[in-house]
């Protein structure tokens, strides 16, 4: 199919039609991508566009190519040129649309944009003589630019000139817009500190995936990471601890000071620099200042704000004990309001995150001043005191024109009137029904500090849990029990990178990618368009882009050989078989794993055996469990030498548990066993 359609003039008073072959992409004429199976002919774009049509021609970047932009598009045009120049070594001069030639140009404009695609949608049309990118806003243009970059050879992401490459774009027409307005990633810099340069690198990696919200977890028990001018001891004392903590090897850390203490913090100048960097990539930063719990770092500096007056400092490896502010002291609220005033001066975004999770309220139960507060405010109990605390902070934040957001537990004792819930342990449906907006970040699908493989002997230490790539991709942010009229209250999904066991930035990347690619597609692409087989195909190209960007990502070490379904299971046990002939390629130990993908109930594995031409040659008999509390679900089978022309089968005795609703995968390890 040719891409040539009648060109459209950008200025009615211009006699000459600019870009005679420019395409106006009409959404109704586009071919929606097939969702039935992986299609190797489609470009490897992540996240997958809403609608896309290929055309039988190409556009090549040459030394004559120019980028043209109107005033509203100039910032994105400069960004795009800066991304294209290193690998291509082409000049790619950026000029105003008034200077446009008739061919060999890339046009970025907000004129004539399709309003049906919303503020973050875009249209991209590539013909043999021009590339046209249209959107209502600079944000939409920016996301279209990310698609344009991914349409080029993967070498475009190299930091230096790549020779002997034809920098061609396929002829294509795309109409695209995100499914959700909130497409987020949270980084915890309290447990382990990361420099502003590392944070900026993560923002670049987010931008590639069209993510638009960076949740910056700046404060927790283990460290206070933002300088507050009114309270200098917060960083003088609260930003440092005696060692790396969490039982980790100090050599793995990158945040030791010259005096041997671990930690660090961001100055107001650092914050402003990172905020501006994020804004240029159309990413909003949501700062989190924890309260009333997770506050030991602050109380180490200002112990008078605790119920007991104790510092909270200890000699334990983590550096601090869990802390909670006294809710009975007026000084507590004055302190926090002063802090938030400085925070809001640094972060211009709509949302201010106040944590509110895992509040240990024993201190409040035993505190005379907290009990007086309960009586004076007519509260019934300590849980309502937590609600009072959150509501009071919300009133202050709303008074500054901002919106309070907090974790699931801010619903305790009654949810503040205008608060947004970040759901990690439940409550999304109830909050949305009550008219509150919700960000979906359930730990079962969005906690990237969980293991990526059940083969933990080859993985760096993690906090626990198991969150494989396919489970992230299968996540549906809209709760199944939420009526359609409340769906607009689900703002979107967010991934969380908690860093108790992540002491350096390379490990942050390793735990984040490629799972973030999967969540980005969940956040952007239509639910009906999601297809894990096709995503896996496109991910191969995406990972090559990450190679060019020097991103340290997790690589698949297991190949799926089969699985089981609820219909195959019995409580008494069934012997199942899978053909593994193509997997048996070398002598030595062979490893297989069993992992549950869906279901409340797991499966028990009694044994696994390797069969050669109908004869069992190796067996590993030990009880294993695949499910919510998986254990010992990896089996090692000995192989002396593969028999030429031999047929190999994996057998296992599998028993269903409980309701027999388990569905899972059987995987073959691609690495030699240790």
Residue 11 has φ and ψ, to the nearest 5°, of -130, 120
Residue 185 has φ and ψ, to the nearest 5°, of -140, 130
User: Do the beta carbons of residue 420 and residue 438 sit within 8 Å?
Assistant: yes
* Rounded Cα gap, residues 357 and 662, in angstroms: 32
Phi-psi sector, 351: left (phi>0), alpha (psi -120 to 50), beta: beta
Q: At what angle do helices 505-512 and 196-208 cross, to 10 degrees?
A: 20
Residue 539 to residues 43, 178, 202, 208, 544, Cα–Cα distance (Å): 11, 19, 19, 13, 8
* Rounded Cα gap, residues 69 and 133, in angstroms: 10
Sign of CA pseudo-dihedral 442, 446, 450, 453: positive
Q: Which residues make Cβ contacts (< 8 Å) with residue 457, sequence separation at least 6?
A: 674
CA 142 to chain CA centroid, Å, is 19
Q: Which residues make Cβ contacts (< 8 Å) with residue 535, sequence separation at least 6?
A: 46, 48, 473, 518, 521
User: Do the beta carbons of residue 453 and residue 437 sit within 8 Å?
Assistant: no
User: Do the beta carbons of residue 650 and residue 611 sit within 8 Å?
Assistant: yes
* Rounded Cα gap, residues 343 and 84, in angstroms: 36
User: Do the beta carbons of residue 518 and residue 535 sit within 8 Å?
Assistant: yes
Residue 313 has φ and ψ, to the nearest 5°, of -80, 145
In this structure, the number of other CB atoms found within 10 A of the CB of residue 57 comes to: 18
Task: Label the pairing between strands 624-626 and 663-669.
Answer: unpaired
Token pair listed for 339: 């802090």
Considering only CA atoms, which of 185, 106, 112 is closest in space to residue 151? 106
User: Do the beta carbons of residue 172 and residue 54 sit within 8 Å?
Assistant: yes
Residue written as token pair 């959700």: 180
Considering only CA atoms, which of 306, 309, 327, 308 is closest in space to residue 370? 327
Residue 198 annotated among the catalytic residues of the structure: no
* Rounded Cα gap, residues 511 and 502, in angstroms: 8
Token pair listed for 422: 């970040």
Residues paired with residue 649 on neighbouring β-strands, in sequence order: 579, 611
Residue 294 annotated among the catalytic residues of the structure: yes
Phi-psi sector, 548: left (phi>0), alpha (psi -120 to 50), beta: alpha
Q: Which residues make Cβ contacts (< 8 Å) with residue 530, sequence separation at least 6?
A: 35, 48, 473, 521, 522
- Among candidate residues 217, 294, 436, 489, the one labeled active-site is 294
Vertex 421 angle, CA 419 and 422, to 5°: 140
- Among candidate residues 57, 123, 176, 220, the one labeled active-site is 220
DSSP one-letter string for 553-616: -----EEEEEEE-GGG--SS-EEEEEE-TTT--SSS-EEEEEEEEE-SS-EEEEEEEEEETTEE
Token pair listed for 187: 């980084």
- Among candidate residues 358, 384, 470, 661, the one labeled active-site is 358
Residue 358 annotated among the catalytic residues of the structure: yes
Residue positions annotated with a catalytic role: 220, 294, 358
């Amino acid at each position: 199919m040719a891409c040539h359609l009648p060109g459209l003039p950008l200025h009615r008073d211009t006699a000459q039609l600019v870009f005679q072959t420019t395409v106006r992409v009409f959404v109704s004429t586009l071919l929606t991508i097939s969702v039935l199976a992986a299609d190797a002919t489609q470009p490897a774009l992540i996240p997958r566009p809403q609608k896309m049509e290929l055309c039988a021609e190409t556009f090549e970047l040459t030394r004559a190519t120019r980028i043209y932009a109107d005033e509203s598009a100039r910032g994105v045009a400069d960004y795009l040129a800066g991304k294209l120049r290193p690998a291509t070594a082409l000049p790619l001069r950026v000029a105003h649309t008034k200077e446009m030639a008739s061919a060999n140009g890339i046009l970025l404009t907000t004129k004539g944009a399709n309003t049906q695609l919303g503020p973050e949608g875009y249209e991209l049309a590539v013909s043999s003589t021009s590339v046209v990118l249209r959107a209502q806003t600079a944000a939409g243009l920016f996301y279209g630019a990310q698609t344009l970059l991914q349409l080029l050879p993967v070498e475009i992401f190299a930091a230096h000139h790549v020779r002997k490459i034809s920098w061609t774009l396929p002829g294509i027409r795309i109409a695209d817009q995100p499914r959700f307005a909130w497409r987020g990633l949270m980084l915890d810099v309290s447990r382990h500190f990361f420099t502003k340069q590392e944070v900026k690198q993560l923002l670049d990696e987010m931008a590639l995936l069209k993510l638009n919200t960076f949740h910056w977890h700046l404060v927790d028990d283990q460290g206070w990471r933002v300088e507050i001018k009114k309270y200098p001891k917060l960083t003088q004392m609260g930003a440092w601890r005696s060692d790396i903590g969490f039982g980790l090897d100090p050599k793995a850390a990158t945040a030791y000071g010259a005096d041997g203490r671990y930690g660090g913090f961001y100055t107001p100048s650092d914050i402003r620099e990172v905020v501006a960097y994020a804004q240029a990539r159309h990413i909003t930063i949501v700062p989190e200042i924890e309260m009333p719990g997770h506050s030991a770092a602050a109380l180490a500096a200002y112990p008078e704000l605790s119920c007991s007056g104790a510092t909270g400092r200890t000699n334990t490896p983590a550096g601090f004990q869990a802390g909670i502010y006294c809710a009975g002291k007026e000084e507590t609220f004055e302190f926090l309001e002063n802090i938030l005033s400085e925070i809001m001066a640094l972060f211009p975004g709509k949302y201010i995150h106040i944590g509110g999770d895992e509040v240990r309220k024993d201190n409040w139960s035993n505190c005379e001043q907290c009990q007086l507060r309960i009586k004076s405010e007519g509260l019934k109990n300590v849980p309502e005191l937590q609600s009072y605390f959150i509501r009071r902070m919300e009133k202050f934040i709303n008074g500054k024109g901002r919106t309070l957001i907090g974790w699931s537990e801010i619903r305790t004792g009654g949810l503040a009137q205008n608060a947004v819930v970040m759901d990690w342990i439940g409550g999304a449906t109830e909050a949305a029904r009550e008219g509150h907006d919700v960000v979906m970040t359930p730990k079962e699908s969005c906690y990237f500090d969980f293991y990526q493989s059940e083969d933990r002997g080859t993985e760096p230490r993690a906090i626990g849990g198991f969150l494989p790539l396919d489970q992230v991709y299968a996540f549906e942010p809209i709760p199944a029990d939420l009526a359609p009229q409340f769906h607009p209250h689900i703002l979107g999904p967010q991934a969380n990178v908690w860093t108790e066991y992540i002491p350096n930035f390379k490990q942050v990347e390793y735990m984040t990618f490629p799972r973030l690619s999967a969540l980005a597609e969940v956040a952007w692409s239509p639910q009906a368009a999601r297809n894990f087989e096709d995503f896996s195909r496109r991910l191969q190209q995406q990972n090559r882009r990450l190679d060019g960007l020097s991103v340290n990502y997790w690589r698949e070490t297991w190949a799926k050989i089969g699985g089981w379904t609820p219909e195959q299971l019995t409580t008494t046990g069934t012997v199942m078989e899978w053909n593994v002939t193509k997997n048996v390629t070398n002598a030595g130990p062979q490893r297989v794993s069993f992992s549950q993908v869906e279901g409340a109930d797991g499966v028990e594995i009694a044994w696994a055996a390797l069969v050669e031409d109908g004869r069992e040659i190796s067996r590993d008999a030990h009880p294993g469990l695949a499910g919510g509390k998986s254990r010992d679900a990896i089996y090692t089978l000995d192989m002396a030498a593969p028999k030429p022309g031999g047929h190999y089968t994996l057998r296992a005795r599998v028993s269903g548990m409980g309701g027999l609703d388990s569905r899972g995968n059987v995987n073959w390890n691609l690495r030699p066993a240790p």
